[in-house]
């Protein structure tokens, strides 16, 4: 990816914008893998088109699916049996591709090597590799053990049964097993041996399975810290249905647009906000209220975010919705009081070590920031302009955009990183900020 520098625009006045956010990355990539495993064709409507979904399309084609993108609809015809074509899958930097495809590759007849960007080679895979190996699947790590590149020696079938997984580094290990489990001879009974982050994403996986007629449930919950947390899941063996599925807008990617009026004043309306959603971004409503915004879903189903006054700092455990942290960190930097974001050690294995990237970027801007093992403390001070890095991470571009609304002289290197999930981001952002110039 090239090294384009973007200077995000400064807001000149209160915003007044309406934004349609493209489809959810997580939902699109779940729909694509289930379409590969289904017994009949699927029609995925409202699908996202970005680097991560392009990589997933290439991956399912590699395993034999026929894929026809038609605008924001993708029609997938699954193969009768999974056969690798070239035997190589490029995962780019997509966690969903490297994790979701690994157990599916074991169902293919032949070897499949998964590799990706250099930065992908340090993203955790060990918990998943261990679970696959425990199930008798032959996984060969070609570099460092527990990391890409790795080869799955597929034998055309997987017995399944009971398996334990340490998904503390990524909920995607668990989602990956759940997504493939119905195609294993005995289905799967999965026990999570450690707390799982990003639980809404696991609920999203269950929802995607149910939408495709798969019998799957939470088999056990434990009471932890006063709340109920699932620890065991079951997926029954059986066919996966195809047919039509509609993808919700990506609520995580809506976050910077919801946050913008809190910084610049005015209002932003996000069109077609689902009433209920398993996406972590469903939590924006409470989070934006906590930091001092006003947010309401109107009768037409649109979500309106409005400025109310100064931004307040928060002390919040964010393990369930860690994907939202870079946007919350930008708001925290511009708040009138300090913030502590907790329970986010797993962000160190995201597109970049996000705790280190946020600490470094905030420090460059002159804002107080301290990354601890699993938390980030932000002490606001008036930021000054700085050249920031995207670290190859789409969400760090969005972080820079938010800071740039309030601060002159902010720029971000390697803005192309944003195409990972949101190729239209820069154009949409500039159009939204321009509504404040009148
Ligand atoms: O299953 C998914 O689609 C995702 C799960 C989460 O991963 P982690 O549990 O690794 O945070 C999230 O951060 C990622 O962006 C998407
Ligand atoms: C962590 C993220 O992505 P991935 O699906 O690559 O893990 C993200 O989009 O914030």
> In this structure, are strands 294-297 and 303-306 parallel, antiparallel, or unpaired?
antiparallel
Of the pLDDT bands very low, low, confident and very high (cuts 50, 70, 90), residue 1 is very low
Number of separate domains in the chain: 2
Of the pLDDT bands very low, low, confident and very high (cuts 50, 70, 90), residue 438 is low
Q: Is the residue at 302 inside a domain?
A: no
For 176, the domain range is 25-234
Q: Is the residue at 268 inside a domain?
A: no
**Do 55 and 201 fall within a single domain?**
yes
**Do 37 and 181 fall within a single domain?**
yes
Nearest ligand to the CA atom of 344: 1
Instruction: Determine if ligand 2 sits within 6 Å of the CB of residue 413.
Output: no
Indicate the range of 2-11, 197-206, 326-335 predicted with least confidence.
2-11
For the question of residue 18 being annotated catalytic, the response is no
Spacing, Cα 394 to ligand 2 middle (Å): 9
**Do 91 and 67 fall within a single domain?**
yes
Question: Of the candidates 60, 52, 61, which has an alpha carbon nearest to the alpha carbon of residue 25?
Answer: 52
What's the pLDDT at 2? 44
Give per-residue pLDDT as tens, 47-105: 999 999 999 999 999 999 999 999 999 999 999 999 999 999 999 999 999 999 999 99
Q: Whose CA is nearest to atom 10 of ligand 2?
A: 323
Spacing, Cα 72 to ligand 1 middle (Å): 23
**Do 48 and 9 fall within a single domain?**
no
**Do 9 and 47 fall within a single domain?**
no
Share of the chain above pLDDT 90, in %: 97
Instruction: Determine if ligand 2 sits within 6 Å of the CB of residue 393.
Output: no
Q: Is the residue at 321 inside a domain?
A: yes
**Do 76 and 123 fall within a single domain?**
yes
Q: What is the mean pLDDT of the chain?
A: 97
Final residue in a domain of this structure, among 234, 264, 298 = 234
Q: Is the residue at 137 inside a domain?
A: yes
Instruction: Determine if ligand 2 sits within 6 Å of the CB of residue 350.
Output: yes
Catalytic residue among 189, 248, 320, 323: 323
Question: CB under 8 Å to 4, separation ≥6 — which residues?
Answer: 413, 414, 415, 416
What's the pLDDT at 437? 81
Three-state SS letters, 193-241: CCCCCCHHHHHHHHHHHHHCCCCEEEEEEEEECCEEEEEEEEECCCCCC
| Average pLDDT rounded to a whole number, residues 299-323 | 96
Give per-residue pLDDT as tens, 401-429: 999 999 999 999 999 999 999 999 999 99
Instruction: Determine if ligand 1 sits within 6 Å of the CB of residue 253.
Output: no
Q: Quickly list H helices, 135-198.
A: 171-181
| Average pLDDT rounded to a whole number, residues 379-400 | 98
Q: Is the ipTM of this complex over 0.90?
A: yes
What's the pLDDT at 26? 98
Query: How far is Cα 95 from Cα 101, in angstroms, rounded to an integer?
Result: 10
Spacing, Cα 198 to ligand 1 middle (Å): 6
Contact (Cβ atoms closer than 8 angstroms) between residue 190 and residue 163: yes
Q: Is the residue at 269 inside a domain?
A: no
Give per-residue pLDDT as tens, 328-375: 999 999 999 999 999 999 999 999 999 999 999 999 999 999 999 999
CATH number at residue 201: 3.65.10.10
Q: What is the pTM of this model?
A: 0.98
**Do 9 and 61 fall within a single domain?**
no
Q: Is the residue at 130 inside a domain?
A: yes
Residue 157 in this model has a pLDDT that exceeds 70 = yes
**Do 65 and 148 fall within a single domain?**
yes
Question: Of the candidates 220, 293, 231, 206, which has an alpha carbon nearest to the alpha carbon of residue 256?
Answer: 293
Nearest ligand to the CA atom of 351: 2
Confirm or deny that 277 is annotated as ligand binding: no
What's the pLDDT at 226? 73
Confirm or deny that 95 is annotated as ligand binding: yes
Helix (H, G, I), strand (E, B) or coil at 293: coil
What's the pLDDT at 334? 98
Confirm or deny that 146 is annotated as ligand binding: no
Spacing, Cα 238 to ligand 1 middle (Å): 26
Spacing, Cα 52 to ligand 1 middle (Å): 13
What's the pLDDT at 52? 98
**Do 342 and 316 fall within a single domain?**
yes
**Do 223 and 316 fall within a single domain?**
no
Contact (Cβ atoms closer than 8 angstroms) between residue 26 and residue 249: no
**Do 176 and 217 fall within a single domain?**
yes
Of the pLDDT bands very low, low, confident and very high (cuts 50, 70, 90), residue 3 is low
Mutate to test the pocket of ligand 2, among 27, 95, 253 (most ligand atoms within 8 A of CB): 95
Q: Is the residue at 35 inside a domain?
A: yes
Q: Is the residue at 298 inside a domain?
A: no
Confirm or deny that 269 is annotated as ligand binding: no
Instruction: Determine if ligand 1 sits within 6 Å of the CB of residue 175.
Output: yes
**Do 330 and 222 fall within a single domain?**
no
Instruction: Determine if ligand 1 sits within 6 Å of the CB of residue 170.
Output: yes
Q: Whose CA is nearest to atom 10 of ligand 1?
A: 170
Confirm or deny that 42 is annotated as ligand binding: no
Residue 227 in this model has a pLDDT that exceeds 90 = no
What's the pLDDT at 420? 98
């Amino acid at each position: 990816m090239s090294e384009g520098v973007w200077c995000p625009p400064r807001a000149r006045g209160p915003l007044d914008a309406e934004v349609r956010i493209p489809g959810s990355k997580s939902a699109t990539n779940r729909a694509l893998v289930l379409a590969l495993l289904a017994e009949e064709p699927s029609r995925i409507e409202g699908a996202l088109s970005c680097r991560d979904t392009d990589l997933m399309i290439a991956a399912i084609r590699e395993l034999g699916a026929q894929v026809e993108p038609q605008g924001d609809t993708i029609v997938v015809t699954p193969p009768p049996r999974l056969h690798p074509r070239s035997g190589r899958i490029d995962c780019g930097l997509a966690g969903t591709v490297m994790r979701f495809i690994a157990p599916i590759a074991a169902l293919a007849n032949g070897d499949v090597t998964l590799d990706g960007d250099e930065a992908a080679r340090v993203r955790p895979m060990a918990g998943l590799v261990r679970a696959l190996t425990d199930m008798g699947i032959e996984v060969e790590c070609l570099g460092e053990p527990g990391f890409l590149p790795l080869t799955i020696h597929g034998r055309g079938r997987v017995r399944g049964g009971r398996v334990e997984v340490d998904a503390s580094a990524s909920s995607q290990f668990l989602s990956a097993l759940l997504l493939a489990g119905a195609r294993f001879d005995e289905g799967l009974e999965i026990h999570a041996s450690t707390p799982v982050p990003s639980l809404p994403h696991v609920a999203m996986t269950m929802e995607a399975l149910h939408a495709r007629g798969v019998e799957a449930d939470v088999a056990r919950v434990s009471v932890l810290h006063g709340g109920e947390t699932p620890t065991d899941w079951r997926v029954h063996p059986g066919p996966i249905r195809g047919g039509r599925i509609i993808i919700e807008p990506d609520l995580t990617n809506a976050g910077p647009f919801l946050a913008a009026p809190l910084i610049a004043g005015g209002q932003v309306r996000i069109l077609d906000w689902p009433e209920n959603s398993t996406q972590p971004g469903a939590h924006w409503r409470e989070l934006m209220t906590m930091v001092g915004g006003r947010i309401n879903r109107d009768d037409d189903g649109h979500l309106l975010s409005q400025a109310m006054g100064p931004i307040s700092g928060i002390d919040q455990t964010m393990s369930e919705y860690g994907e939202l942290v870079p946007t919350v960190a930008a708001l925290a930097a511009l708040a009138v009081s300090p913030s502590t974001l907790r329970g986010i050690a797993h962000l160190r294995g995201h597109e970049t070590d996000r705790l280190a990237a946020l600490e470094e970027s905030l420090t460059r801007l002159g804002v107080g920031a301290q990354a601890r093992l699993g938390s980030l403390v932000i002490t606001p001070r008036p930021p000054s302009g700085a050249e920031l890095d995207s670290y190859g991470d789409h969400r760090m571009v969005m972080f820079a955009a938010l800071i740039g609304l309030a601060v002159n002289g902010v720029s971000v290197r390697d803005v192309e990183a944003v195409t990972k999930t949101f190729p239209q981001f820069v154009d949409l952002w500039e159009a939204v900020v321009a509504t404040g110039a009148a």
